[in-house]
Amino acid sequence: MTKSTRLARSTVCALTLTLALGACSSSNGGDASGQGGTSGAGTALRVNWGGFPESWAPGAEMEAGYMRVPYENLVQLGEGGEVEPMLAASWEQTDESLTLHLQEGVTFHDGTPFNAEAVKVNLESVKNTPGPFAGPFQVVTSIDVVDDLTVRLNLSQPTPSMLTTLSTRAAPIASPTAITAGTVAQTPVGTGPWAYDAGASTPGTRMTFTTFEDYWGEDVGFPTVELYAIPDDTSATAALIGGEIDITDTEVEQLSTLEGSGQVQTLTYPAIRNNPIFFDRGPGGVFEDVNVRKAACYAIDTEVLAQIEPDWEVRTQHFAEGEPGYNPDITGYQHDLEEAQRLYAQAGSPPVQAEVLAAPFTERQNQVYAEQMGEIGLDITVQSAPPPQYFAEWNSGRFPLGLGSNDELTAYDWYTSWFAADAPGNPSGVESPELKAAADAAIAAGNSEEADALWAQVTKIISDEALTCAHVAGEELIAWNSSTVEGVAEPTQPWEPHLVNYRDLRPAGS
């Protein structure tokens, strides 16, 4: 299958094995294994995620496997999900504000000092960038630079999940100089242990990140990280077995070849959550009637998708048991064609014609769902687009229905990203009084013991109103060459695709 979160493959090594391996040679004439070059096993960690981000700017859709090489966050999540210091050394939070005390002696790769002003520029940039990460930051009414190493986020309402949000892909910290200049989109400049080395990189094929000598934190195992763009899984498998790369994401159908090599190990971890969302639900909208939405939900059979793509797990809701926001009373919309037809008839069988935008990695899933909804008379057309257009437009309001990844970790973030009246992912601007009242109560509860139950009620209303449905969760499958690298484990940061714990990796036998 094609990984459902995979970014643009158009940057691109050729799809044939010979061309793929040839394209992945180092800029000084050596191959990707470093023979005859300056990098190789033991010096460079060579990782293939298949393609590169369209933009490295904070607020852009950027997968973790790329972001977490040059960038760091203000905080991080530990093994048990607890919030731990990173660029912020400590903090105090109240219902009105979050005050962060920053690490001393941190410098961006371009020499710009890391300070409170840099945090302000970054978070304002994310808040003001239309896209998947802006929603949770709308609660930030202003940001005060208290002093050089103290910054205060003023909040319009209690937001206990803000620290969690700051640990995610929503808030990488980039050089304010690069943000202001506009160069950060194509040239990442962060504070991490590896800095982008344009001279050692090959556009479209390899991005090289070398040791940042002024890095403020602990030493890492590999002085260089090379990110490759081998889009074809068979070619990536051959490159891994042949010693051209050390780590790659892969697919289930590659396992027999990988496991037969004797030197490759694999792991899987949950990384992808997606679901269709009914955007056009305002007055006169295609999906204004809740019974039309429910009919569409009952018409969709996610079990069919799981049979086609075996690493998808069918879910009843966005959150898993044990996560805040999970509600055991949500049963979801089990496929029931009779009930779908009944509800559609009850709505008056209105003509429904809707386009949904698909990227190459969501096209098959969209086609399956469109055909299933067509069985009750809904006319859903799937329009294909290259990834840059897809990421910019699938949830922009141009399309009445959308299918995309929802990786929010908290019910507050999920609600404010997609379902609140002012959520960036709710172009209709419509929110029922019941949902708003439930969310207001949950927000007002802050960190109290009642908060979890109140947020579970919010997710129940979202389900009952069929604002979204057909939840599935996908596994990320990682393969690595155990003769060149050790320490690969499931990342502690949950629900982030294309990710390994770079800092913990070491050359094999070191």
CB 373 within 8 A of CB 419: no
Cα–Cα dist 478/480, whole Å: 7
Residue 167 · residue 83 · CB < 8 Å: yes
Hey, what domains does the chain have and what are their CATH numbers?
Answer: 17-64+192-263+482-507 (3.40.190.10), 75-179 (3.90.76.10), 271-473 (3.10.105.10)
Residues with Cβ within 8 Å of residue 59, at least 6 apart in sequence: 125, 126, 127, 128, 129, 131, 133, 134
How much is the pLDDT for 42?
63
Say what the pLDDT of residue 31 is: 42
- Residue 51, pLDDT score: 82
Residue for token digits 């790659």?
A: 248
Q: What's the pLDDT score for residue 20?
A: 39
**Pairing of the two strands 44-48 and 247-249:** parallel
Cα–Cα distance for residue pair 184/174, rounded to 1 Å: 8
pLDDT of residue 317: 97
CA pair distance 208, 199, nearest whole angstrom: 8
- pLDDT digit string (tens) for the chain, length 510 residues: 333 333 333 333 333 333 334 434 333 333 443 333 334 446 899 999 988 888 999 999 888 999 999 999 999 998 878 999 999 999 999 999 999 999 999 999 999 999 999 999 999 999 999 877 888 999 999 999 999 999 999 999 999 999 999 999 999 999 999 999 999 999 999 999 999 999 999 998 999 999 999 999 999 999 999 999 888 899 999 999 999 999 999 988 899 999 888 899 999 999 989 999 999 999 999 999 999 999 999 999 999 999 988 888 999 999 999 888 999 999 999 999 999 999 999 999 999 999 999 988 789 999 999 999 999 999 999 999 887 688 778 988 999 999 998 889 999 999 999 999 999 899 999 999 999 999 999 999 988 889 999 999 999 999 999 999 999 998 899 999 999 999 999 998 989 988 999 999 999 988
Written as one string, the DSSP assignment of 207-224 is: EEEEE-TT--S---S-SE
Please give the Cα distance from 318 to 409 (Å, whole number).
Answer: 10
Would you state the pLDDT for residue 204? 87
Q: What angle do CA 368, 2, 414 make, to 5 degrees?
A: 70
Spatial CB neighbours of 417, under 8 Å, sequence gap ≥ 6: 132, 135, 136, 406, 408, 423, 424, 425
